[in-house]
């Protein structure tokens, strides 16, 4: 059992790899744990995993509920191994923001007008649009930076927000960018 | 499967401590979760975080405020609230640890504050004011109030200042936000405040939104506009005129993006099209309109007006306006405007905060008068207000230096003596000369002409344009500053005496929103510590002043309110005096709107409401229309359906003004090539001293940023998140950039809520003001921008009390 744990990827909802990351299956073998991406991140978004993370120890992660990624793209420039591939802001696909329409107070029929996620999205009107004042994510353009998650005013009991970044597209970024 | 309200509250409360990493806010959220179970009681009130006047209910459990929800029966918001409105219960009672709880005093401004008793605080305040009056005369003291104070508070403050201290130095921050709208309404229609109501949103078939980001500044009203548009996609047109593409523009059929400061030309060009294509309403013009020009209000003919407007052909104006404006777009806008069943114009600060704000207001009214788009269902020229009680308290309650309660002008002898008689004070007590207007008042503080000033419920140290200049004066040791507020602000930092006040729902009072609607909020929770309602402070202060100055008339001013308990009876007595004595017989007659009536209604009463029966029906929806407005019937002089009985126009006509194009006070030049404009973001309100202390709102927008057009950004090598220096002739800011197609090319836009010295944009803005309304031109000045570094980690900033 303990062996399985050391092989389980830490990437999950709202816990993401920095921009441009290679396939999660390759990540621990390609990343040399130099810590440059952690060092260069001006916001402190990227943090290295500690010793308890098995083979993932020392690899960089972004917890978007704490500090999201502001897409300054510095980490991809300094990565010496190409584990974080040198991509542009628009190409980034750390994950996909998914709105939980039952938790979102604008969607669930409460008499509330909240569109914080729309307001703070760096690609407002492209990655998030408003459908009669209710936010809708456009999956093709969402970079998964997590700003919306960080700003979301609803926190559910399980710690998730009403909008969460799922790492589902993280491995297939290039395929999508080529579309 | 909807999430219940209560669960939502629990969820917002369940933010973990870890999620604040990067935000050093001294608040814990644990307090709220424990109490989000069943309600003890719900209390009706009004939201205080914008001018919409949304009605809401506060849930109180075990004496603690635990939640807010909208009231669906309310005619303003229909139950909807924005996030500010849903969350501000977190500032009430003991919910927030940073609330000011005890009077604080320091003799010199370089000393730390010490806690003192109320007795001593009021003694100090009265002694300082009395000393100043004796030494430097009555005009050396001033009151600077707020469009967020209750009507009762503004009223009693100005009564004591005018009747008691014999000075008209009574001002308020509405001078910074809607003085131009007042000027516009009075000069064009003869009476202040809009003719129609929000109910026109559901009846209008063309919206002309100019200089207003309704979607962010009035989100709940915007929902109604959007609903109207979405339900009638083909028949309802929305025109948005703004140099910046805002969320409001998203629903627009036509977006007119003109260069800042060319709005007057644009509006005149629309009038040109209306005249040229004979789109005007001849009957309406003949019966109700007149043409005026110049300072002397000279009467002119239609021909003269046509000759004047000849200069504003759409082709020429399209060149002046720049941006995306073409002659065709102007023609289309004018055609929609004139031809629709009912056209509603909406504007806020984009029009008001101009060095020719009154003119811009006049020109919007012109279009409505020309086309007869007034008094009909859906047809209205409607100025939105930014603060919850700028209309009710300050415009109607006499909170500006040149007006007395109920739309009376200070300089009109008859009206001034009428007020003196109603107050029972000797004739000649109120000086005939208006006092200092806001900009002159703080200039006088700079020059040492004002030695003692009471600032209530507002933060001029952050909200004045070019604020560094005025903070210098406020730092002077010979200027005694009293600040009454609920949280530490940029202004309390400059105070000698800080008086902790009760927040909304911790005291009782009336707010009057944009559509002439007065709504009552009754006390529901106790104020924290020793915080007190302002009305009590003023009464006690006035009694002490009376003793100090040995002047029984000051006591006389508060005599009717003696011995009343301050939480309900005292504001009620003040409201009674104000409505029954002062507003009776005036155009904003509120004598039917007693506390009893206001408490019975889910929302409130729109004036004119001369009788209780009329008030119980909700008051007057549309002014000036016979059959709908009781005063229109009462003052009718002929058989026409509309009676424009406003006090400023004895000829009972609407005036069309000849106003030429006038650019901003400061134009971009080679040294400062960019236009700078400022505005609000949905989640923060004004100086963010309140919204900044609500964790959910602060997390979403922890700091201000500068919006740069992508083309400019590319030219200057600016990437998103880069730190940008914004410099003007007055000051500089360093903010993170947001590259966004909002502002037009050659223009940058900054949010003004941030309290951090580096991101406080009013250090950069210009303090030029409209010569008519004296409202400063916040919206336009020249600046230059420069990238100073890549992204830097930033911390949100709030002013804290130094222990």
pLDDT band at A171 (very low <50, low <70, confident <90, very high): very low
What's residue A7's pLDDT? 78
Q: In chain B, where does the domain assigned CATH 2.20.25.90 lie?
A: 5-95
**By the CB < 8 Å criterion, does B248 face chain A?**
no
Give the pairing of strands B403-404 and B380-383. Answer: unpaired
Number of domains, chain A: 2
The whole domain housing A23 covers: 2-78
d(CA A46, CA A52): 17
Boundaries of CATH 2.40.40.20 in chain B? 674-789
User: Is residue A89 in some structural domain?
Assistant: no
Band of pLDDT at residue B741, cut at 50, 70 and 90: confident
Domain covering B5-95: architecture:
Single Sheet (2.20)
Q: How many CA atoms lie within 13 A of A28 on its CB side?
A: 14
CATH of domain B179-384: 3.40.228.10
Task: Determine the length of chain A.
Answer: 179
Fold of B674-789: Barwin-like endoglucanases (2.40.40)
Interface test with B, best of A133, A145, A162 (most B CBs within 10 A): A133
pLDDT, one tens digit per residue, over B604-650 is 999 899 999 999 999 999 999 999 999 999 999 999 999 999 989 99
Which residues 543-572 on chain B approach chain A with CB closer than 8 angstroms?
none
Q: Tens digits of per-residue pLDDT, B188-219?
A: 999 999 999 999 999 999 999 999 999 999 99
Nearest by CB to B700, from A70, A113, A116: name it: A116
Same domain, A39 and A109: no
Q: Which of B5, B19, B255 to mutate to test the interface with A (most CBs of A within 10 A)?
A: B19
Structure tokens at B676: 């700078």
CB B498 within 8 A of CB B528: no
Q: How far apart are CA B723 and CA B240, in angstroms?
A: 31
> Do A52 and A7 fall into the same domain?
yes
Q: What span, in angstroms and rounded, lies between the C-alpha atoms of A130 and B657?
A: 40
User: Which two structure tokens, joined as six digits, stand for A124?
Assistant: 């407002």
Query: Residue B132 in 3-state DSSP?
Result: helix
Q: What's the confidence (pLDDT) of residue A3?
A: 62
Contact B12 A153 (CB under 8 A): yes
pLDDT at B138: 93
- Verify that A172 and A113 share a domain, yes or no: yes
Residue B324 in contact with residue B257, Cβ under 8 Å? yes
- Residues of A numbered 69-98 whose beta carbons fall under 8 angstroms of chain B's beta carbons: which are they? 70-72, 74, 89
Q: How far is A29 from chain B (nearest CA, A)?
A: 30
Q: What share of chain A in percent tops pLDDT 70?
A: 91
Per-residue pLDDT for A130 more than 50? yes
Tell whether A60 and A100 lie within a shared domain.
Answer: no
Across the interface, do A120 and B701 touch by the CB < 8 Å criterion? Answer: yes
Say yes or no to pLDDT of A60 above 50: yes
Q: Do B682 and A119 touch (CB under 8 A)?
A: yes
Instruction: Please check the confidence at residue B13 and state whether its pLDDT lies above 50.
Output: no
Please say if the pLDDT value at position B33 is more than 70: no
Mean pLDDT of A13-39: 92
Query: What is the least distance, in Å, from the CA of A51 to any CA of chain B?
Result: 20
A91 located within any domain: no
Report the residue from B82, B250, B721 with minimal CB separation from A113. Answer: B82
pLDDT of residue B36: 46
A120 with A47, same domain? Answer: no
Check whether B16 has a pLDDT greater than 50.
no
pLDDT above 50 (res B17): no
pLDDT at position A90? 84
A112 contacts B80? CB cut-off 8 A: yes
A-facing residues of B in 217-246 (CB < 8 A) are 219-220, 223, 226, 230
- What stretch(es) of chain B map to CATH 3.40.228.10? 179-384
B19 interfaces chain A, CB cutoff of 8 Å: yes
Contact A155 B19 (CB under 8 A): yes
Is it the case that residue B548 has pLDDT exceeding 90?
yes
Give me the pLDDT at residue B801, please.
82
Is A85 within a domain?
A: no
For B157-177, the DSSP string reads HHHIIIIIT----EEETHHHH
Average pLDDT of B153-171? 95
Sign of CA dihedral B547, B550, B555, B557: negative
What's the pLDDT score for residue B67? 92
CATH number of the structural domain spanning residue A156:
3.30.70
Q: Using 50, 70 and 90 to split pLDDT, how confident is the model at B790? A: confident
Asked whether residue A32 is assigned to any structural domain, the reply reads yes
Pairing between strand B480-485 and B497-500? parallel
Chain B residues with CB inside 8 Å of A132's CB? Answer: 226, 230
pLDDT band, very low/low/confident/very high, at A59 (cuts 50, 70, 90): very high
Q: Among partner residues B216, B683, B791, which is closest to A43 by beta-carbon distance?
A: B791
Question: Structure tokens of B211?
Answer: 């200089």
Beta carbons of A153 and B83 less than 8 Å apart: yes
Which chain B residues are Cβ-neighbours of A71 within 8 angstroms?
A: 720-721
Say whether pLDDT at A164 is over 90. Answer: yes
What is B104-177+389-600+609-616's CATH number, 3.40.47.10, 2.60.40.420, 3.40.50.1100, 3.40.50.740? 3.40.50.740
| A46 and A102 in a common domain | no
The per-residue DSSP string of B460-527 comes to: HHHHSTTHHHHHHHHH-TTSEEEEEESS--TTGGG-SEEEEB--TTSS-EEEE-TTSEEEEE---SPP
Residue A110 lies in a domain: yes
> What is the model's pLDDT at position B6?
53
pLDDT of residue B25: 44
Residue appearing with tokens 């013009």: B285
B131 pLDDT above the threshold of 50: yes
**Which chain A residues are within 8 Å of B11, Cβ to Cβ?**
103, 154-157
Residue A24: pLDDT band with limits 50, 70, 90: confident
Name the domain boundary from A44, A78, A112. Answer: A78
Backbone angles phi, psi at A124, to 5 degrees: -50, 140
Per the prediction, chain B carries an average pLDDT of 91
Q: Which long-range contacts (CB under 8 A, 24 or more apart) does B229-237 make?
A: B230/A132, B232/B205, B235/B205, B236/B204, B236/B205, B236/B206, B236/B207, B237/B205, B237/B206, B237/B207, B237/B336, B237/B340
């Amino acid at each position: 059992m303990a062996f399985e744990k050391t092989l389980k990827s830490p990437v999950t909802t709202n816990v993401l790899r920095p921009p441009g990351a290679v396939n999660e299956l390759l990540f621990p073998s390609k990343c040399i744990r130099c810590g440059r991406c952690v060092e260069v991140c001006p916001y402190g978004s990227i943090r290295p995993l500690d010793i308890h993370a098995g083979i993932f120890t020392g690899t960089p992660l972004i917890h978007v509920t704490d500090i999201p990624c502001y897409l300054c793209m510095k980490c991809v420039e300094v990565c010496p191994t190409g584990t974080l591939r040198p991509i542009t802001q628009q190409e980034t696909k750390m994950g996909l923001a998914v709105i939980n329409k039952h938790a979102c107070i604008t969607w669930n029929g409460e008499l509330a007008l909240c569109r914080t996620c729309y307001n703070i999205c760096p690609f407002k009107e492209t990655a998030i649009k408003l459908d009669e004042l209710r936010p809708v994510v456009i999956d093709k353009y969402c970079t998964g930076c997590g700003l919306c998650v960080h700003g979301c005013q609803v926190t559910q009991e399980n710690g998730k927000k009403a909008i969460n970044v799922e790492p589902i597209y993280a491995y297939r970024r290039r395929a999508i960018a080529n579309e | 499967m909807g999430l219940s309200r209560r669960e939502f509250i629990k969820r917002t409360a369940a933010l973990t401590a870890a999620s604040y990493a990067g935000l050093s806010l001294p608040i814990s959220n644990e307090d709220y979760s424990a109490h989000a179970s069943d309600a003890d009681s719900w209390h009706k009130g009004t939201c205080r975080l914008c001018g919409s006047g949304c009605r809401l209910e506060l849930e109180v459990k075990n004496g603690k405020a635990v939640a807010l929800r909208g009231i669906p029966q309310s005619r303003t918001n229909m139950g909807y609230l924005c996030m500010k409105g849903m969350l501000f219960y977190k500032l009430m009672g003991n919910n927030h640890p940073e609330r000011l709880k005890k009077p604080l005093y320091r003799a010199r401004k370089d000393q730390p504050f010490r806690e003192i008793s109320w007795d001593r605080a009021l003694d100090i305040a009265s002694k300082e004011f009395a000393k100043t009056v004796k030494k430097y005369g009555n005009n050396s003291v001033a009151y600077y109030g707020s469009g967020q104070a209750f009507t009762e508070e503004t009223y009693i403050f100005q009564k004591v200042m005018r009747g008691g201290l014999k000075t008209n130095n009574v001002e308020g921050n509405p001078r910074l936000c809607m003085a131009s709208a007042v000027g516009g309404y009075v000069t064009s229609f003869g009476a202040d405040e809009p003719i129609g109501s929000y109910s026109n949103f559901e009846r209008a078939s063309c919206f002309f939104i100019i200089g207003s980001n309704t979607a962010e500044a009035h989100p709940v009203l915007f929902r109604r506009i959007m609903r109207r548009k979405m339900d009638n996609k083909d028949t309802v047109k929305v025109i948005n005129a703004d140099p910046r593409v805002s969320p409001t523009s998203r629903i627009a059929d036509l977006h007119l993006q003109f260069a800042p400061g060319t709005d007057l030309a644009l509006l005149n060009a629309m009038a040109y099209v209306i005249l040229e294509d004979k789109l005007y309403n001849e009957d309406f013009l003949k019966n109700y309109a007149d043409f005026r020009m110049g300072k002397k209000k000279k009467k002119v003919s239609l021909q003269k007006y046509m000759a004047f407007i000849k200069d504003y052909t759409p082709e020429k104006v399209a060149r002046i306006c720049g941006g995306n404006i073409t002659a065709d777009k102007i023609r289309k806008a004018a055609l929609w405007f004139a031809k629709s069943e009912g056209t509603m114009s909406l504007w806020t600060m984009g029009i008001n905060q101009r060095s020719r704000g009154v003119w811009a207001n006049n020109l919007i009214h012109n279009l409505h008068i020309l086309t007869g788009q007034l008094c009909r269902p859906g047809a209205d020229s409607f100025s939105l207000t930014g603060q919850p009680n700028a209309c009710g308290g300050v415009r109607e309650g006499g909170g500006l230096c040149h007006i007395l309660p109920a739309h009376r002008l200070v300089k009109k002898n008859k009206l001034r003596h009428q007020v003196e008689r109603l107050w029972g004070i000797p004739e000649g007590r109120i000086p005939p000369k208006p006092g200092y207007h806001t900009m002159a008042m703080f200039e006088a503080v700079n020059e040492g002409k004002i030695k003692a000033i009471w600032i209530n419920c507002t933060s001029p140290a952050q909200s004045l344009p070019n604020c560094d200049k005025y903070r210098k004066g406020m730092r002077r040791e010979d200027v005694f500053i009293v600040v009454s507020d609920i949280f530490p602000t940029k202004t309390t930092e400059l105070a000698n005496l800080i008086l902790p006040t009760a927040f909304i729902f911790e005291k009782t009072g009336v707010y009057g929103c944009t559509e002439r609607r007065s709504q009552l909020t009754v006390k529901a929770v106790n104020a924290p510590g020793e915080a007190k309602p302002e009305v009590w402070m003023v009464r006690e202060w006035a009694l002490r002043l009376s003793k100090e100055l040995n002047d029984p008339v000051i006591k006389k001013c508060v005599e009717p309110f003696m011995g009343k308990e301050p939480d309900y009876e005292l504001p009620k007595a003040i409201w009674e005096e104000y409505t029954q004595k002062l507003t009776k017989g005036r155009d904003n007659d509120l004598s039917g709107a007693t506390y009893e009536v206001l408490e019975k209604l889910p929302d409130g009463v729109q004036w004119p409401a001369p009788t209780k029966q009329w008030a119980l029906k909700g008051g007057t929806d549309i002014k000036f229309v016979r059959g709908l407005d009781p005063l229109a019937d009462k003052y009718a002089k002929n058989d026409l359906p509309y009676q424009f009985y406003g006090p400023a126009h004895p000829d009972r006509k609407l005036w069309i003004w000849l106003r030429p194009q006038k650019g901003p006070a400061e134009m971009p030049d080679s040294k400062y090539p960019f236009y700078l404009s400022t505005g609000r973001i949905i989640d923060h309100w004004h100086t963010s001293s309140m919204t900044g202390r609500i964790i959910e709102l602060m997390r979403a927008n922890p700091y201000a940023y500068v919006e740069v057009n992508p083309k400019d950004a590319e030219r200057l090598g600016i990437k998103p998140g880069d730190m940008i220096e914004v410099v003007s002739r007055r000051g500089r800011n360093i903010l993170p950039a947001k590259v966004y197609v909002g502002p037009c090319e050659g223009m940058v836009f900054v949010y003004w809520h941030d309290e951090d010295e580096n991101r406080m944009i009013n250090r950069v803005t210009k303090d030029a003001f409209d010569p008519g309304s004296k409202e400063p031109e916040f919206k336009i000045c020249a600046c230059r921008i420069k990238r100073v570094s890549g992204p830097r980690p930033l911390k949100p900033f709030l002013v804290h009390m130094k222990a």
